[in-house]
Amino acid sequence: MASDQSCFVFCRKLPIGPKPHALYKTVDNRKILEQQNALIAKRLDESLAARNKLYEANRKHHLELRDMKQQIKSLQEEKAKLQEQL
């Protein structure tokens, strides 16, 4: 019975709350989350920059096509006028 009482006294003296190992694990998890958030932010910035480049390339291409269509139309009109003169 003495061993039961000593265990009871010993067990009551143990701290209640998270163990140091659990605290270290929590800190490690927070560091990992911070690193992952930083990596996500970096990748997001890179993808936004790539999207902006793609938008600019598409816009430039659209403007070039518009100019080509206008040139074709004016050349067709000029051709029609020349054929009328003949």
pTM above 0.75, yes or no: no
In a domain, 33, yes or no: yes
Token match 């816009």: residue? 59
**Per-residue pLDDT reduced to its tens digit, 25-65:** 787 889 999 999 999 999 999 999 999 999 999 999 999 99
Q: What is the pLDDT of residue 26?
A: 81
In a domain, 10, yes or no: no
Q: Which domain holds residue 64?
A: 25-85
Number of domains present in the structure of the chain:
1
In a domain, 68, yes or no: yes
Per residue, what are the HEC states of 58-72? HHHHHHHHHHHHHHH
CA–CA distance from 65 to each of 1, 36, 55 (Å)? Answer: 95, 43, 15
In a domain, 1, yes or no: no
Q: What is the pLDDT of residue 1?
A: 47
In a domain, 39, yes or no: yes
In a domain, 32, yes or no: yes
In a domain, 80, yes or no: yes
